[in-house]
Structure formats: structure tokens, C-alpha cells
Amino acid sequence: MEDALKSTSGLSGKRLALRELRLVYTDALEEHLADGTENSKHSACDIGRWAIAQEIGVTKVVAVHHECVGRILFRLAGSVSCKEGLRRAGDFLAEALSPYEQAHRGSSETIPALRQMNERMEREIQRIALAVHDEAGQLIYAVHLAIATAAEASSPVVHQHLAEIGAMLHRAEQGLRRLSHELRPMILDDLGLTPALQSLAERVSRTTGIAIEFEGSVDHRLDAKVETALYRIVHEALTNVVKHAHAKKVTIELQRDHTMLKCLIRDDGVGFDPAGVGKGQRGLGLAGVRERAAAVGGTLQIKSEPQRGTELLVEIPLRKTTCRSEYSSPMTTPSFARP
């Protein structure tokens, strides 16, 4: 069975994986129903682990189990009683699902740690943004004053040099101010997610020439952690478009209903194979996006194929605490037209 599992792990496509699951599950379950030993039960656990790796959901495994049980019991009628067969089948299913339970337990321990890490990072970013804005800003102001004083008593030639130094300093000051705003956009704190994302999209579009369309809005303020997470996610997605996609057009769709905040970022660029990301040194940015989404209880789906553009869909469930209490009415925005 291991060989069968190994040989299928290289195959792509959910349907192929599901077909393989049916075959492997049928063989292993039949063996277990016939002899009912611990040994044959262990293969159920291997199958569960393999199914997780193939991103086959728990409900699919249960459905495959039900498909197989009746067929096999019918075949084995006579050699094992129906009651005993059902008991063994139940044990087998529990074993096949145990890796799902372990994975769930693992992720519920990881998410609070991720949340804490993001909060610490966010505080640190805020501290750096303030230091860049205030401390460096004040220092530069002091240098401007010193240049002005020196210029008063200097010859026309030195005066000219000092004016040039002043102009360079001014450019450095503008760069630092831009950096501090990028690190922690005031607009996000003051006006919320929609204006902050619109402003980000406009800035990226202006500096790169890529057409960026922004659709939908979230009228009401959300939990600051959710707003910050989504802002940083869209920022990374746009950075990736600029760095890797060679795209002409990007669409950002933001939608919120009573229970879910959804954001779709789609580009028409060169695309890539998402299965290759995360191997070796690549993929820190997208891994960060996934972690940021997970830290606020959300998920990330990546749809991309070489030469066919890229689509990131982030879904964040909205609990009562993720919406700021002073706002309550729901809103409607365009529904996602998914290809």
C-alpha cells in the first residue's frame, strides 16, 4: 500500500487524488474487515495523513468510507458478521480521521502564537514608523536650521553648495516621511480599511503604471487587527504583482457580509505554479500572507497557472469582536465573479 501511496503523491489534481484514495481505501478497509488486526488498522492512519497532504477534506474521506463499507461487507458476507464488520469499519474510520484531529489540534495551538507574533511585529513597526517620522524628522529640521545659519555668513559659492545640500536633505526627508507612512499608514488608523486600500492601490498604480481597479467597500470599521492584517496582505499581493507578474491590470474586490470579510486580488500577469512555492528559500511573502490570515482566523486560497494570471482570495470570518461595536448595519457590495 505504501508504494501505491508514494506513487500517487506525485500526481496532480484533486480528482486524481480522490480516485486514488478510493482505490487505496477500499484495499486497506477490505483487509481490515477480513482480519481486524491492529496492523491493518495502522494503514488507515497512513491513508489519513496522505489525504491531508493531498488537501482532501475530512467530509470526502467520510464519503469514500461510506461508499466502500457497503460494497465490501457485501463481498465479505459469510466470512464476517455484519455487526462485527460494522464495528471494525468504525474503528478503521476513526483511525483514518485521527491525523485530521492531530492537525486541527496543532493549528489551534499555532494560531494564538501567530497572533501574538503579529501583534508584537505590529507594535515594532509602529515604533519604527514613529522613530523615523519624529526622531529623524526633528534631526533633519535641526540640520536645515544649521545650514541656514551657516549660509548667512558664507560666500556666494559656499552659499550655493549649502543650498544644494539643503535640497538633498529635503529629498531625504521626503523619502523618510514616505517610508514612515508606508510602514504604518495613518489613513488606516484614521479612516479605515477601504480608504487605506484605495490609497495604496492609487499609489502603486501611479508609480508603476499598472491599472489597478478597486471594487466594493467596507463602510464600517472592523477590528484593528483585521484591518491591519488585510492591509498588509494586499500590500504584499501588490508587491508581488509589481515584482513578479508583469501584469497590465489588477483588480481588488472587497466584500463583506454578516459573517465574512472577503478580499480577492486578481492580476493578468504571467502566473506561477503555487505548488512550487514554499520549497527552498522561496515563498516567504506568501507564507506571511497565509500566516497573517490565519492569525485572525482566516484563510488564503491561491489560484494561479503559468501565463494565466494569479488570484488570491482571503476570507476572514467576522465574529462580533471583529466589528467595532458602534457600527452595526450590514452592507452590500458586488459579488465575486469567479472564473
Q: Which stretch binds Mg ion (CB under 5 A): 134-142, 151-159, 237-245, 254-262?
A: 237-245
234 binds ligand ADP (CB under 6 A): no
255 binds Mg ion (CB under 5 A): no
Burial class (CB in 10 A: 0-12, 13-18, 19+), 13: exposed
* Total site size for ligand ADP, rule CB under 6 A: 17
d(CA 167, CA 26): 76
Cα angle for residues 293, 297, 302 (degrees, 5° grid): 40
Is 4:54 a contact under the CB 8 Å cutoff? no
CB of 236 to Mg ion, least distance (A): 6
d(CA 67, CA 91): 16
Name the grid cell of 304. Answer: 494561479
Q: Which of 54, 255, 310, 322 binds ligand ADP (CB under 6 A)?
A: 310
Q: Which of 282, 299, 317, 319 binds ligand ADP (CB under 6 A)?
A: 282
Q: Which entry of ligand ADP, Mg ion, none binds 284, CB below 5 to 8 A by partner kind?
A: ligand ADP
Sheet with 211-215: list strands edge to edge.
Answer: 211-215, 249-256, 260-267, 310-317, 299-304
Q: Which of 161, 221, 244, 324 binds ligand ADP (CB under 6 A)?
A: 244
Q: Which of 1, 270, 313, 331 binds ligand ADP (CB under 6 A)?
A: 270
d(CA 179, CA 219): 27
CB of 238 to ligand ADP, least distance (A): 9
Give the residue ranges of DSSP H helices in the chain: 2-9, 14-35, 38-53, 58-76, 82-130, 137-152, 156-183, 186-190, 193-208, 224-240, 284-295
DSSP classification of residue 335? P
157, HSE (Cβ side, Cα atoms, 13 Å): 0
245 binds ligand ADP (CB under 6 A): yes
Q: Which of 201, 286, 316, 318 binds ligand ADP (CB under 6 A)?
A: 286
Nearer to ligand ADP, 75 or 248 (CB): 248
241 binds ligand ADP (CB under 6 A): yes
159 binds ligand ADP (CB under 6 A): no
274 binds Mg ion (CB under 5 A): no
One-letter amino acid for residue 199 of the chain: S
Q: Which stretch binds Mg ion (CB under 5 A): 119-127, 133-141, 179-187, 279-287?
A: 279-287
240 binds Mg ion (CB under 5 A): yes
One-letter amino acid for residue 207 of the chain: T
308 binds ligand ADP (CB under 6 A): no
Nearer to Mg ion, 195 or 285 (CB): 285
Q: Minimal CA–CA distance to 251: which of 191, 325, 310? A: 310
Q: Specify the residue for cell string 512550487.
A: 276
269 binds ligand ADP (CB under 6 A): yes
Q: Which of 285, 303, 308, 336 binds ligand ADP (CB under 6 A)?
A: 285
Residues with Cβ < 8 Å from 69, sequence gap 6 or more? 29, 85, 86, 89
| SS3 label, residue 278 | coil
Query: Would you tell me the crossing angle of helices 82-130 and 156-183 to the nearest 10 degrees?
Result: 160
291 binds ligand ADP (CB under 6 A): no
Binding mask 32-61 toward ligand ADP (x if CB under 6 A, else -) reads ------------------------------
CB of 281 to Mg ion, least distance (A): 12
Given the rule CB under 6 A, which residues bind ligand ADP? 240-241, 243-245, 267, 269-272, 277, 282-286, 310
